[in-house]
A = this chain, B = another copy of it.
Amino acid sequence: MALQIYGDSISGNCLKVKWTADRLGRPYDWIETSVLKAETRTPQFLALNPAGQVPLVVLGDGRPLAQSNAIILHLAEGSDLIPADAYERARMLEWMFWEQYSHEPYVAVARFHVHYLGKAVADLDPKLVERGRGALKRLDDALAQDDFLVGGRLSLADVALVAYTRVAHEGGFDLADYPRVLAWVARVEAALGIA
């Protein structure tokens, strides 16, 4: 059985999984699963992922796996998307946990409210905007030295962080304020063939 990816095409978290599978040349069936239509809350879906979240993959042997970053770490094991050096691997994980805790909850959530729920940027919670800006600023600072986040080359840290950064403008953030981030987004998109 081929890998099955349950994903919503508007979700950066889901696209991370698609990009990683594509980059690895791993065949898969994409099962479009809409969050807005509550397709992640059906009894069938909840049986696969009690957290009611996409992405979810069903591996070749029928076993399910959830959480975008856990999925891409599993798919990419042994590939060049994960640094061989233990410290670089740890730094990659640091960025991936930081993404889910300090970036996605602001940058992705602002985009969801503005682009998909129709909220005005001016009506966003100021804390959300401030923290989203803080996350983008931190990325910009980190990219002062290197072309990619870890070890000078593409890794899952870039895949995880580019997902919502590249569409941050849809949440009212202006990437022109973060020129190194803007250049890095183009670089990662080119490396992933998604430009």
Contacts and interface: CB of A to CB of B under 8 A. Distances in A.
Interface of A: 50-51, 59, 63, 65-71, 73-74, 77, 86-87, 89-91, 93-94, 96-98, 100-102, 104-105, 138, 141-142
Contact of A51 (B89, B93, B96, B98): B98
A87 B59 contact: yes
Closest 4 CB pairs of A and B: A74-B90, A70-B93, A70-B94, A67-B97
Contact of A87 (B63, B93, B101): B63
A67 B51 contact: no
A141 B102 CA distance: 28
A67 B87 contact: no
Count of this chain's copies in the oligomeric assembly = 2
Contacts of A91: 65, 70
A149 B73 CA distance: 19
Nearest to A98: B67
Q: Please report whether the interface of chain A is mostly helix, strand, loop or mixed according to DSSP.
A: helix
Given A65-B90, A70-B90, A138 B97 contact: no
Contacts of A93: 67, 69-70, 73-74
20 contacts: A50-B138, A50-B141, A50-B142, A51-B102, A65-B87, A65-B94, A66-B98, A67-B94, A67-B101, A68-B97, A69-B93, A70-B91, A70-B96, A73-B93, A74-B87, A74-B89, A74-B90, A97-B100, A100-B100, A100-B101
A71 B67 CA distance: 19
A42 to B, nearest CB: 17
Contacts of A87: 59, 63, 65, 74
